[in-house]
Chain A
């Protein structure tokens, strides 16, 4: 059984069947990509995985536990982190504080009233955050306001914020959307390094085939709300059904 099990998930918005009988099993420590043309239901599926949407039927199990109906912070505490399409960081805070917050969240849980200690006295947290910044090569930017970072650095910081919590599952929603080629390649390289350096499962939702075929070990193709094919990248590339879904019947 995989770390993430999606069983018979259906989701309907009014007359639109957004997801129809989606079954998905994601193996632990693998990189699994979900691709599909616009409107295929990729984002809906992702929102079901993080509890933001509750499917009409079916179940989503993470490590044997249901994630449905849980709040975002509870899902994170289970060991799932999420990278957004546009980097979601704490813009008003410094880069270092951005990384300290997830460390504190991991150690102290969803709420702790430590209003009298000084931030920098939390030696273990400071060390953890510093090591993480070092790993993503951002030590020289630690005192900058996060909002003033470049797009690529924001993405890098967001990854650092997710990884410092040592999640078991990392969900990436179009991690290279709107990026220049160089930034895209940097991100791919970063994700490769991350994968090699620690046990982690990644689910990538992506448009960019270059990214998908550089990273994924297994690919699911969604079309019109249902999984079309699931296979290793080599077999997906030339698959006639995939080409049909992307290019229309003429192909």
Chain B
């Protein structure tokens, strides 16, 4: 079905299920309970999950398949955002032209940047992309302020022309998709739980599913195979009559367009584009997401994006009072010590948690969270009585070596 084989179709349906039922799955704790702060089922965070999912899926097409580690992909995210806001300012607050423009303009930018950066490979390529991203950041922050509004960030205003909407009244109209505003939604209270269904989330989620589907098709296509060949052996590729350059450039542009789409969606749910979106830490974040989830795997980047965004938003909001409440069961002296230690890892210290987690994953699970899942699955399979004999394990496909090895 859908041109996918059974395994890929199952994976796609699992992701579809997760995305559709996310408002339930991410809200496992009743609202009144103390654990409710670990719930992630509110629109703002769910939107971030799927938007950064798109970003990471696109990045994985470049890094996971061709092995070219771009350290400047946030530039395309930012370019997409600015393009999106400008479309809303100039044409209409309907998000369709904004999203199309984000994708196309980020694609054009990645064509130019990719053409230059892909003259080198390995570490030099990474440095070149990083340089371009930092240049874009500097341009957006100070040089191109008429276009980017510099420090304050580009946002909608009453004086925008909005050619298609016509002149508005006294207020800026809400960003919408053919009349449905992105903030639209409803709450559904059930027992102690409140589930929030938000149109903006489902809109982004639909596009993420499309992006995910396209990435499966690319992975399984002859083009995807050529990209893996680029990573594996460029010398042989050359002597096989193939030119690796256009292949890598195409992968670069595709992943740039994914990043642009993600940037466009970010302004579609919150019409504000700032230069900090292009800062190099943002580029690093998508690298972390992809490696944490499993570079070169289909679902890995989505998992990685979800994981990092969860920690960023949940752990960073815990404070001393929450910790005191959590360690309430301990005797006084111990409670104080436990809180003091735990405090380093929450609030502003969430990056420390992330760093530790990243180290653990890279050291013990070089294939990322996906490898962790595979190992657990294998453990369960071994417990069942082996009917096919000891040979069966050897015939199953071996995990592909990690790019770092």
- The residues of A with any CB-CB pair to B shorter than 8 Å are 50, 71-73, 76-77, 81-82, 84, 88-93, 97, 100-102, 104-106, 109-119, 122, 143, 145, 147-148, 161, 165
Whether A92 lies near B238 (C-beta < 8 A) is no
Chain A residues whose CB sits within 8 angstroms of the CB of B344 once the complex forms: none
Can you name 16 A-B residue pairings with CB atoms under 8 Å? A50-B239, A73-B238, A93-B229, A101-B225, A101-B240, A104-B222, A109-B241, A110-B241, A110-B246, A111-B246, A112-B222, A115-B221, A116-B218, A118-B220, A143-B397, A145-B400
Chain B residues whose CB sits within 8 angstroms of the CB of A93 once the complex forms: 225, 228-229, 232
Kindly state the separation between the CA atoms of A161 and B238 in the bound complex, as whole angstroms. 13
Whether B240 lies near A76 (C-beta < 8 A) is yes
Whether A72 lies near B233 (C-beta < 8 A) is no
Whether A117 lies near B221 (C-beta < 8 A) is yes
Whether B246 lies near A76 (C-beta < 8 A) is no
Q: Does B231 contact A (CB under 8 A)?
A: yes
| Total number of B residues with any Cβ neighbor in A under 8 Å | 33
Chain A residues whose CB sits within 8 angstroms of the CB of B242 once the complex forms: 73, 101, 105, 110-111
In the complex, residue of chain B having the shortest beta-carbon distance to the beta carbon of A158: B236
Whether B232 lies near A90 (C-beta < 8 A) is yes
Kindly state the separation between the CA atoms of A42 and B397 in the bound complex, as whole angstroms. 41
Interface centre among B3, B239, B398, B400 (most CB of A within 10 A): B239
Whether B400 lies near A102 (C-beta < 8 A) is no
Q: Does B224 contact A (CB under 8 A)?
A: yes
Chain B residues whose CB sits within 8 angstroms of the CB of A72 once the complex forms: 238-239
Cβ < 8 Å to A, chain B residues 13-29? none
In the complex, residue of chain A having the shortest beta-carbon distance to the beta carbon of B223: A115
Identify the 6 closest CB pairs spanning chains A and B, nearest first. Answer: A76-B241, A72-B238, A115-B223, A110-B243, A90-B232, A88-B236
Kindly state the separation between the CA atoms of A73 and B240 in the bound complex, as whole angstroms. 6
- The residues of B with any CB-CB pair to A shorter than 8 Å are 3, 5, 217-218, 220-226, 228-229, 231-233, 235-243, 246-247, 250, 254, 397-398, 400-401
Minimum Cβ distance to chain B for residue A172 (Å): 13
In the complex, residue of chain B having the shortest beta-carbon distance to the beta carbon of A109: B241
Minimum Cβ distance to chain A for residue B35 (Å): 43
Kindly state the separation between the CA atoms of A185 and B290 in the bound complex, as whole angstroms. 47
Minimum Cβ distance to chain A for residue B357 (Å): 27
Number of A-B contacts (CB under 8 A): 111
Whether A88 lies near B239 (C-beta < 8 A) is yes
Whether B229 lies near A76 (C-beta < 8 A) is no
Minimum Cβ distance to chain A for residue B32 (Å): 50
Kindly state the separation between the CA atoms of A95 and B15 in the bound complex, as whole angstroms. 31
Interface centre among B221, B222, B246, B400 (most CB of A within 10 A): B222
Kindly state the separation between the CA atoms of A241 and B239 in the bound complex, as whole angstroms. 36
Minimum Cβ distance to chain B for residue A225 (Å): 25
Whether B236 lies near A90 (C-beta < 8 A) is yes
Chain A residues whose CB sits within 8 angstroms of the CB of B220 once the complex forms: 118-119
Whether B235 lies near A77 (C-beta < 8 A) is no
Minimum Cβ distance to chain B for residue A2 (Å): 22
Given A90-B229, A122-B222 in contact, is the A165-B241 Cβ separation under 8 Å? yes
Chain B residues whose CB sits within 8 angstroms of the CB of A91 once the complex forms: 232-233
Kindly state the separation between the CA atoms of A66 and B236 in the bound complex, as whole angstroms. 22
In the complex, residue of chain B having the shortest beta-carbon distance to the beta carbon of A90: B232
Given A73-B238, A143-B397 in contact, is the A119-B243 Cβ separation under 8 Å? no
Chain B residues whose CB sits within 8 angstroms of the CB of A112 once the complex forms: 222-223
Given A73-B243, A76-B241, A143-B397 in contact, is the A118-B221 Cβ separation under 8 Å? yes
Whether B400 lies near A92 (C-beta < 8 A) is yes
Whether B224 lies near A115 (C-beta < 8 A) is yes
Given A106-B241, A111-B242, A148-B398 in contact, is the A119-B225 Cβ separation under 8 Å? yes
Interface centre among B226, B239, B241, B254 (most CB of A within 10 A): B241
Whether B243 lies near A71 (C-beta < 8 A) is yes
Whether A71 lies near B231 (C-beta < 8 A) is no
Whether A111 lies near B247 (C-beta < 8 A) is yes
Kindly state the separation between the CA atoms of A119 and B237 in the bound complex, as whole angstroms. 18
Kindly state the separation between the CA atoms of A118 and B5 in the bound complex, as whole angstroms. 9
Chain B residues whose CB sits within 8 angstroms of the CB of A106 once the complex forms: 241
In the complex, residue of chain B having the shortest beta-carbon distance to the beta carbon of A82: B239
Chain A residues whose CB sits within 8 angstroms of the CB of B240 once the complex forms: 73, 76, 101-102, 105, 161, 165
